[in-house]
Amino acid sequence: MEELSAIVLAAGEGKRMRSNQPKVLHQVCGKALVEWVCDAAFEAGIQKCITVVGHKAEEVMAYMGQKVQFALQKEQLGTGHAVMQAQPLIKDAQGYVIILCGDTPLIKGSTVKKALDYHISSGNAATVITTELEDATGYGRIIRDASGQVKKIVEHRDTNEQEKAVREINSGIYCFTVKHLLDALNQLNNHNSQGEYYLTDTIEILIAEQFKVGALKIDDSTELLGINNRIQLSQAEAIMQKNIVNKHMENGVTIMAPATTLIHSNVEIGGDTIIYPGCIIEGDTKIQENCMIGPNSRIINSIVEDNVEIQYSVVVDSYVGRDTHIGPFAYLRPGSKIGKEVKIGDFVEVKNAVIGDKSKVSHLTYIGDAEVGKNVNMGCGTVVVNYDGQKKHKTIIGDNAFVGCNTNLVSPVVVNENAYIAAGSTITDEVPKDSLAIARQRQIIKQDWVKKRRGLND
């Protein structure tokens, strides 16, 4: 069986990004540029994806992990030199290879597959992916012969007047039959003003040897947008966001203001959910059906079940059960698990805690490192005092408990089921089942105290 491989060029420094981070690790819609490219290759049916790394190689390798194989380009001596570093990984392959740029995140898997299918069915030694631009200034031009085969690729600086008028440009993405690529690489040299090995020279070599070189022209030139600076990064983000938002709307999600909404690529949203303006939904978040995500909410790596309403709130690494209301201005921190039909109200913060079904935490409350049972009422201003200055401790509150306003629960402490805690109490000991705990001094009234203090007379 003939093998399909990909070589992704990701060794460059990307100086114009003006960043300490490798260019290919900058993100678009929650994924690194190079990850988008590799995912497109896998989507196209690629069996082996080789990523050529160089500048800050360790960071790129750590990010991509075992998803791909790596080839190291210690010195950046041109695109041809980069591909040479992958030779040992494809030298025994009997099949085809597509060479992709690690900074083109908009390339689609369907386009990669189309290019490989065209290359194979045409019997080409090499195939160039091309597109037409209104203004092709700065791009290499594709010059075809009368039969439509590629005659040559001419860099912009070397074009004559007739060639300058050509609008079909070289994308820098190529398909090769492996044996022809290896033969051409063995003939590359760096006899040019830059002293570099150019991948485009392999095309010239194959044409000179009268092998068949074709070109596949795609209509959507945005797929070939390379990222060289922050402006282009923002352009790619805008294009990708539009694609993602449109996909969700086609699937039955209402997004009221797409231009103000940011949704990452891995996010799943169920039908009849409404996303209000200004929302940010990131990571591997899953939102089920009939939810309402109110304005300016942010949800990261969380699961939100059916019929949930979230208003002006932040939810991070958490779970929210169905028919629950969150916010406004609530903060669910990592490890929060909120049950069904729960009320988490305004200015409530929950961290690494379980809140049982039908419980209410209506306002101005902090619950950290706790287990709160079902049908519990947490009064306004309640604080789970979980930190002793060195360690975090756990509080457990049983089903049907009632915690009065302005209560401090000093962890570790247990409040058993059906217990009541009087408002203003500081609880340090276990509260038995069906009991009332009062932990405050009895109120004392001192008549005329103010007048005496100020020396006033009647």
Catalytic machinery residues:
363
Pairing of strands 213-217, 262-263: unpaired
Quickly list H helices, 186-289.
200-208, 230-250
Beta-sheet strands, E only, within 112-236: 126-132, 141-144, 150-154, 168-177, 213-217
Concatenate the DSSP letters of all residues of 33-93 into one string. Answer: HHHHHHHHHHHTT-SEEEEEE-TTHHHHHHHHGGGSEEEE-SS---HHHHHHTTHHHHTT-
Q: How many CA atoms lie within 13 A of 394 on its CB side?
A: 8
Read off the tokens for 302. Answer: 């969380």
Read off the tokens for 141. Answer: 């031009």
Other residues' Cβ atoms within 10 Å of the Cβ of residue 97: 27
Other residues' Cβ atoms within 10 Å of the Cβ of residue 259: 10
Beta bridge partners of 368: 351
Q: Which helix (H) or strand (E) holds 120?
A: helix 109-122
By the 8 A CB rule, do 283 and 299 touch?
A: no
What's 357-403 look like in SS3?
CCCEEEEEEEEECEEECCCCEECCCCEEECECCCCECCEEECCCCEE
* Coil, helix or strand at residue 226: coil
Q: How far apart are CA 107 and CA 89, in angstroms?
A: 24
Q: How far apart are CA 206 and CA 174, in angstroms?
A: 13
Q: Measured between alpha carbons, how far is residue 71 from residues 53, 189, 306, 317 in Å? A: 6, 20, 46, 35
Question: C-alpha angle with apex 240: 236 to 241, nearest 5 degrees?
Answer: 115
